[in-house]
C-alpha cells in the first residue's frame, strides 16, 4: 500500500518504522521535520503538509497527541479531508474523544470519504516490533482495506463495529484501567514498605503467584525501581486520557468515581512538574512522604 503518515511522536515513529519494514510505501509529515529524518534512511518520503502526505495514497494514518491537533491536521488549511481521494481511507490511531471521532466520521461521510478509528494498545517498543493491539471501528469495507496496516503494526485487531466512537471509548476505558492499576500498585507498595517488605518481593508474590500479567510485571518493576524515564508514555498524555474518559462518561451520565479521583492525582503530578516522565510515576503521587 501507499500510505501517508502524520504525527511522529514516540508511538507514531515506531508505527511508521514498522510499516516501512513490512514493505509499505510511506509518505510522512511531522510538525518537526527533523524527527522524520531517520525514516528517510529507511525509504520514507518526507513532505511539508498533511495534505501532501494524503494526496494519491491508499490510506493516511494520523497519530497525534490530542483532539486539537487531530482537528487542525484534518480540517485546517492544507488538511487531510480536502486532499483525501474518494477511494482512500483516513485511519485515526490517536487517542481522542468519542465526540471528535463522531464528528470526523460524519464530516468524512458527508464528503464521500471513509474514516476509521483505530486506536492502538501497547507501548512504542511493541509498535516497533509489530505487536500492538488494534481496536478498529468504521465502515466494514474501509476497515478491511486497512488490514495490511493493522497487520503490520499489530499482532491482533479487534473490530468493534461500524461506529468510530466505539473504538475510542474502548481505548479510553482500557487506559483508565491501566492508570488505576498504576495508582493501586503504588499504594500497595507503600503499605508493605511500612511493614518492612521489599517492593520487588511483594511484586513476585502478587504477580508471580497470582495475577501472572506481563503488564503488571513491567509497570510494577518501574514503580518499584522509580524508573520513570521519558521514553515511554508521557504522564501528561495519561492525564489527558483519564480526563477524556471522565468527559465521555459525563456525556452519557455514567458514574466513574474512581476515574474522578484518579484525574486529581494526575493533576497533582503535573503540578509537581512530572508531566514529561513515564505515566507509571502516578503510582507514587499519593504515597510520597516528607523527607
Map 43-67 to HEC letters. CCEECCCHHHHHCCCCEEEECCCCH
Catalytic residue among 2, 35, 171, 240: 171
- Residue 35: active-site member: no
Q: Whole-angstrom Cα distance, residue 216 to residue 222?
A: 10
3-state secondary structure of 261: helix
183 burial (CB, 10 Å; 0-12 / 13-18 / 19+) is buried
Alpha-helix runs per DSSP H in the chain: 10-21, 37-42, 50-54, 67-75, 80-83, 98-110, 124-128, 140-145, 147-153, 164-193, 199-203, 214-225, 235-251, 257-271, 282-285
Any idea which residues carry the catalytic annotation?
171
Amino acid at each position: 500500500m501507499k500510505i501517508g503518515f502524520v504525527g511522529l511522536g514516540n508511538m507514531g515513529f515506531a508505527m511508521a518504522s514498522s510499516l516501512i519494514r513490512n514493505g509499505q510505501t510511506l509518505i510522512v509529515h511531522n510538525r518537526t521535520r527533523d524527527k522524520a529524518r531517520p525514516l528517510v534512511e529507511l525509504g520514507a518520503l518526507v513532505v511539508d503538509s498533511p495534505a501532501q502526505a494524503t494526496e494519491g495514497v491508499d490510506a493516511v494514518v494520523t497519530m497525534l497527541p490530542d483532539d486539537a491537533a487531530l482537528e487542525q491536521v484534518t480540517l485546517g488549511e492544507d488538511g487531510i479531508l480536502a486532499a483525501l481521494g474518494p477511494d482512500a481511507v483516513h485511519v485515526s490511531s490517536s487517542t481522542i474523544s468519542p465526540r471528535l471521532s463522531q464528528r470526523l466520521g460524519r464530516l468524512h461521510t458527508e464528503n464521500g470519504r471513509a474514516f476509521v478509528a483505530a486506536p492502538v494498545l501497547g507501548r512504542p517498543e511493541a509498535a516497533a516490533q509489530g505487536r500492538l493491539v488494534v481496536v478498529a471501528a468504521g465502515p466494514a469495507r474501509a476497515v478491511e482495506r486497512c488490514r495490511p496496516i493493522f497487520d503490520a503494526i499489530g499482532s491482533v485487531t479487534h473490530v468493534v463495529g461500524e461506529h468510530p466512537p466505539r473504538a475510542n471509548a474502548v481505548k479510553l476505558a482500557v487506559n483508565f484501567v491501566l492508570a488505576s492499576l498504576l495508582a493501586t500498585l503504588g499504594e500497595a507498595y507503600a503499605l508493605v514498605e511500612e511493614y518492612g517488605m521489599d517492593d520487588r518481593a511483594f511484586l513476585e508474590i502478587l504477580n508471580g503467584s497470582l495475577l501472572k500479567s506481563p503488564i503488571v510485571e513491567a509497570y510494577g518493576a518501574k514503580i518499584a525501581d522509580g524508573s520513570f524515564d521519558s521514553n515511554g508514555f508521557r504522564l501528561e498524555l495519561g492525564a489527558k486520557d483519564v480526563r477524556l474518559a471522565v468527559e465521555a462518561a459525563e456525556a452519557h451520565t455514567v458514574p466513574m468515581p474512581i476515574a474522578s479521583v484518579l484525574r486529581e492525582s494526575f493533576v497533582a503530578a503535573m503540578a509537581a512538574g512530572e508531566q514529561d516522565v513515564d505515566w507509571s510515576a502516578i503510582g507514587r503521587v499519593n504515597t510520597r512522604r516528607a523527607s
